Amino acid sequence: MEKGEAAILAGQFGALALAILILSNFAAGTNNVLSTPTIGSVYWGPVSDKVQLTNGVTNTEPANATTMSVYFALAVGTSPASVSAVRLCSYANDTGEELVYTELMINYKTNSFTFNTTGQVAGATCTYTLTLTDSLQQVVTWVAIVKLKS
């Protein structure tokens, strides 16, 4: 191999390495693919009321909600296999109750589900546990406490 050919080959190799580096940085910046499901926004009442609950903390609300709306994201190529919602309440008189919601409405277009009604009474503190299982049997759980003002 002559000196000129070696220089051309080295230049081509350098250009190829630079192109790969640039393209890999571009691809890494645009890769927002989920590998597991997530529960994102949870609304106390209709979404239009814009009362969003925060996961893992006590949320104090002024009144009962007629519905809860839950938005989720799925791993690529999966679909919801099951969703569930459970409410566990404690009352000031040292009693409590558990409610398992049996009518959850899944909206496949918006990746959301809703359930009615919360039925939480004033002064009660209730823990809501929401669970989503995708078609790969990957599970995500969202838990928050809602306390209604007396």
Q: Which domain holds residue 13?
A: 1-32
In a shared domain, residues 81 and 26: no
User: Which has more pLDDT, 49 or 21?
Assistant: 49
In a shared domain, residues 118 and 59: yes
pLDDT the model gives residue 150? 72
Domain CATH for 122: 2.60.40
In a shared domain, residues 1 and 66: no
Burial class (CB in 10 A: 0-12, 13-18, 19+), 124: buried
In a shared domain, residues 25 and 95: no
In a shared domain, residues 26 and 63: no
In a shared domain, residues 81 and 23: no
Taking CA 7 as the corner, what is the angle to CA 4 and CA 11, rounded to the nearest 5 degrees? 140
The total of structural domains in the chain comes to 2
pLDDT the model gives residue 20? 57
pTM of the entire structure?
0.75
In a shared domain, residues 99 and 123: yes
Angstrom distance (rounded) from CA 111 to CA 106: 7
User: Which has more pLDDT, 119 or 20?
Assistant: 119
Percent of the chain with pLDDT over 90: 56
pLDDT tens, residue by residue, 112-131: 999 987 788 888 899 999 99
pLDDT tens, residue by residue, 21-31: 554 554 444 44
pLDDT the model gives residue 149? 84
The first and second tokens of residue 58, run together, are 């006590």
pLDDT the model gives residue 135? 94
In a shared domain, residues 27 and 49: no
pLDDT tens, residue by residue, 94-113: 889 999 999 999 999 999 99
In a shared domain, residues 28 and 44: no
In a shared domain, residues 26 and 43: no
